[in-house]
Amino acid sequence: MIRVLVVDDHQVVRRGLAALLATDRGIAVVGEAGSGEEAVRVAAAAHPDVVLLDLMMPGMNGVEATPRIKTAAPGAAILMLTSYTDADLIAPALAAGALGYLLKTASTDEVLAAIRQVAAGRRVMDPAAETALSQYAGVDLTLREREVLNLVADGLSNAEIAERLTITVRTVKAHISSLLQKLALADRTQLAIYALRQHARSS
């Protein structure tokens, strides 16, 4: 039995999702929450296997709630269920620890299948979200920028990258700033997600 916590700030949506999940004999809805803050409290008490989490909510949004939920309920897998396909929203969600990203246009079977997959520890990505993330591919980067990007994917710090490439930390920061601008990313976290995805594609 997969224990699921449903989190959405719209009560009608939240109740509808809970009713939908209740039709599956392999799933038990162990709680509902209407905000990120409430989700953390309920997760700590209910110990869900999967948290079906809305992305955009007043107060603490889904990205902010994700690491807090995982601290409160370490065994919980986070499945984002949202209407947004913006890469600058998807990347932070994945970086925060979400294992799945699904759109609210998904069919009943797709939602149920996604819950089972993340409960088993497998990543789930809506095709539209995959497409949004892949839009960063093909950007014209210099050889040095690609070297820096690969080292970011390996988890190296700026100082470690500087030592590896025999350049200054200031130069590394300049390359990272250039990468952020070229790839339309907001910060180093998003850059790391992009770098890891590109590394996975090439391996």
- Predicted confidence at residue 25, as pLDDT, reads 93
pLDDT value of position 139: 62
* In the predicted structure, residue 141 carries a pLDDT above the cut 80: no
Q: What is the pLDDT of residue 77?
A: 97
For domain 143-202, the CATH class is mainly alpha
Task: Tell me the pLDDT tens digit for each residue of 163-197.
Answer: 988 899 999 999 999 988 887 777 888 888 887 77
Predicted TM-score of the model (pTM)? 0.69
DSSP letter (8 states) at residue 119:
H
Higher pLDDT among residues 174 and 203, named by residue? 174
Predicted confidence band of residue 94 (pLDDT cuts 50, 70, 90): confident
> CA angle 40-123-92, nearest 5°?
55
Q: What are the extents of the domains in the chain?
A: 2-134, 143-202
Contact assessment for residue 158 and residue 173, using Cβ atoms and an 8 Å cutoff: yes
> What CATH number has the domain spanning 2-134?
3.40.50.2300
Distance CA 109, CA 128 (A): 17
194-200 LR contacts (CB < 8 Å, sep 24+):
194/91, 194/133, 194/136, 194/149, 195/149, 195/150, 195/152, 195/153, 196/153, 197/133, 198/137, 198/149, 198/153, 199/150, 199/153
- Amino acid 16: pLDDT: 94
